[in-house]
Structure 1
């Protein structure tokens, strides 16, 4: 390997394992990831952003910044400047197109690492097996940048449908959808290794695996099916590592293995919209795709936003007061009143978790969770709203430490082999690290930092408490330069 104090590489490969928790990386379950950890530096305390949801995290990986900078404040969120008919779903190509048209192409308001690469005359190629929205958000201006994005879901899910055409012409029809996603893993990995890396040879290549996230959700975190697909995606990663090792310039590659968030298991599901309706608050869930007759809009999962449509602050405060009285509530956030507290009694400021964007909601609730073991012995259990995943299935979005803790490993020039680095860091650091590896400066909007040792900044650990009668909550974070690394949050 190249010396650890040499930071420039010739090529960068990023492999994202959607939803993978670091405690699932073991020699038995993931031998190739475990081997890779021994060859590079493992940033064991890396964290996602809040909400710890895929589309938000994807945009933070792309832009090296939290939602207050890039503007994607949820997997789904109401964006009245785009439409007042329904809540936007960031997984859908039609909603992405609607938002881009209304914002003049500035749905993502911050520069991405793809933008910086294009300005430097460098190429980025993406092989994506997630939603159309995620494939879009990892390189929001791929078409304008002259880059290449292939989507396992089909040509209509990519900004560059010609990429899908050339892949299908070479490798045959796209694989059928099945659960777990064994076939999609194999197809995507082959496209990356045999077409992108071997033939296209871009400066940066990224593959996004949709497992283990999908199986965590629907087949549970520790089930035999989930562990089997986890071993399968690890084997695909092993083939990528073997390809790199066979190259004459292998020492000039930086390889990054990462996840966008973790997951916890669900202990019960509740009809939160129905419970609020019983209190006289008529709301609509995002999945309904209509706001007709609603006084508020809400999103769900194990956390969500609430946007007041009728009734103003009185309606907001009434909903918040009821939530604070319920054992189901874990945390509550609203627009900042000061640096710590929100305008709503007992709430934290949205700015404290880097959600103080013009698109911020009136309220964000997080349902209660803890570190109790699930039925397979994995720590982390919480409540979810009904109709999202089956009870027992995995969920993410909140501030439980097992949702926030991500896989982040890097090997190659600038990284110490076999090191475990305990610095406060996170997914916002991936984009600056990619750019620094190629000798490029980060965009001015990037709040993350390159992970090479010589450019780290000291972090200050901070704890915050707030609440109201019968309700108290705590948030732990690490303040670090221009960014915050969120460590955990819960009801106190």
Structure 2
């Protein structure tokens, strides 16, 4: 049964990496004011891994990675290539995966497909990587939709959109940190071309800030705060355009982020440390597997895929990690739904990562709620070579990297409400479809945030470990879907 529509248009603004504790009247007055006009889901959460390409797909499909199949920003995917792990920021790797899966790299049905089937159009302005621009509407070309990538023609499946924008607005802006020029250019294209000229049923803009500056200019640095204000100004112009429309009440507006971030206190040469323990591995960034017994992705979490040595090597690596003070959490497939098949590890199914593409071992590095030098809570460790020490990172289960911004203003949503019940990025696609009177896809595990209030959910705390190594995770079970609240090592 289809829901009753409450909107004719939906506008979605995604602020990559925006922690909700940065949404204040002083720093982001437009977004803070908007939060007072709608419902702010203050305990909204990302998925695990809390990485952009995984989260992008969760937003597009309304499902966890166990359903949509994008299990990392980069991961070993031998169906596409055995030469190296695929990096989903690169279009050549994304193309390999699309070809290998016969166009079914995203295994769940995205909202773009549902919209197209109903005769509705989606248009996207994207400032992130080729993979992210692809994953937000994978079948954009087949659907007759429109995705503009700020990175150029080769970063979108609808390159004519780039030609169209350049013809009207001039050359693409330079790539400089922070992304002031990119923010302003993208916002103008979105407001003047997408909203005013194309007028799609669903319009989405993806700002790459504050994520990029969090990574490389640090969470509380003056430059980062300035670009956050720039993004907020851009959002204010978009909101002013919507509010000036004669049918403004028929617009639903969603402001969201895909994940948060925490500050990296130190970087570890994990691959080298594992070599010293007798395991020769290759990091995904090396783009080769020559001589490797395992391949590993990095950040403040990563996957380990065994290429030589089977379960015995996996277990040896996991047991070694349990003995290290820097290890946070460990996950293996199978098990009883809480503990994985290797005692002391959690099951991948507990964090909705148990897709057939999932690895044999997933780790997070240790993190705390301690403040960084600017006073923002959340300190962690990362593998060496990803971002500068002192920069931000995300991917793991620290509550500050899981907690996302999620605000909905629409007929059918409460005004000025701060809703503390568990919600998540998996709820965005079902909400968009419900606002337009369309049913959710069968593969969507999220639920609409419109209409009936979210059910209350008692957090469930699970703990496991081996010897002196203990880990704990807190989840909220909610009508057939799960919201990951936080997790980490227990002292």
> TM-score by structure 2 length?
0.98
> Any residues of structure 2 matched to 1:430-449 within 5 Å, and which?
430-449=428-447
Deviations 1:99-142 (A, max 9, x none): 00000001000000101000000000000000000000000110
Question: What's 1:359 paired with?
Answer: 357
* Separation in 2, partners of 1:308, 1:60: 27
* Separation in 1, partners of 2:358, 2:456: 29
Question: What's 2:109 paired with?
Answer: 111
**1:334 maps to which of 326, 332, 339:** 332
* Separation in 1, partners of 2:329, 2:339: 12
In structure 2, list runs of 5 or more residues that go unmatched: none
> Any residues of structure 2 matched to 1:80-479 within 5 Å, and which?
80-454=78-452, 456-479=454-477
Q: CA deviation at 1:336?
A: 1.9
* Separation in 2, partners of 1:344, 1:90: 29
> Do 1:306 and 1:364's aligned partners in 2 also have CA atoms closer than 8 Å?
yes
Deviations 1:204-237 (A, max 9, x none): 0000000000000000000000000000000000
* Separation in 2, partners of 1:295, 1:455: 50
* Separation in 2, partners of 1:132, 1:352: 30
Question: What's 1:22 paired with?
Answer: 20
Q: CA deviation at 1:250?
A: 0.5
Task: Report the 3-state secondary structure (helix = DSSP H, G, I; strand = E; otherwise coil) of the residue aligned with 2:242.
Answer: helix
> Do 1:332 and 1:347's aligned partners in 2 also have CA atoms closer than 8 Å?
yes
**2:45 maps to which of 37, 44, 47:** 47
Q: CA deviation at 1:459?
A: 2.4
* Separation in 1, partners of 2:439, 2:5: 13
Deviations 1:412-459 (A, max 9, x none): 211111111111110000000000000000000000000014163442
> Do 1:6 and 1:413's aligned partners in 2 also have CA atoms closer than 8 Å?
no
Task: Report the 3-state secondary structure (helix = DSSP H, G, I; strand = E; otherwise coil) of the residue aligned with 1:351.
Answer: helix
Deviations 1:302-356 (A, max 9, x none): 0000000000011001101100000010100001211111112210000000001
Query: After the TM superposition, which parts of structure 1 deviate over 3 Å for at least 4 consecutive aligned residues?
Result: 455-458
Task: Report the 3-state secondary structure (helix = DSSP H, G, I; strand = E; otherwise coil) of the residue aligned with 2:255.
Answer: strand
**What's the C-alpha RMSD, in Å, of the aligned pairs?**
1.0
Q: How many aligned positions are there?
A: 488
Q: CA deviation at 1:97?
A: 0.4
> TM-score by structure 1 length?
0.98
Task: Report the 3-state secondary structure (helix = DSSP H, G, I; strand = E; otherwise coil) of the residue aligned with 1:149.
Answer: strand
Q: CA deviation at 1:6?
A: 7.9
* Separation in 2, partners of 1:84, 1:475: 34
Task: Report the 3-state secondary structure (helix = DSSP H, G, I; strand = E; otherwise coil) of the residue aligned with 2:452.
Answer: helix
* Separation in 2, partners of 1:110, 1:231: 36
* Separation in 2, partners of 1:429, 1:106: 22
> Do 2:344 and 2:465's aligned partners in 1 also have CA atoms closer than 8 Å?
yes
> Do 2:39 and 2:407's aligned partners in 1 also have CA atoms closer than 8 Å?
yes
Task: Report the 3-state secondary structure (helix = DSSP H, G, I; strand = E; otherwise coil) of the residue aligned with 2:220.
Answer: coil
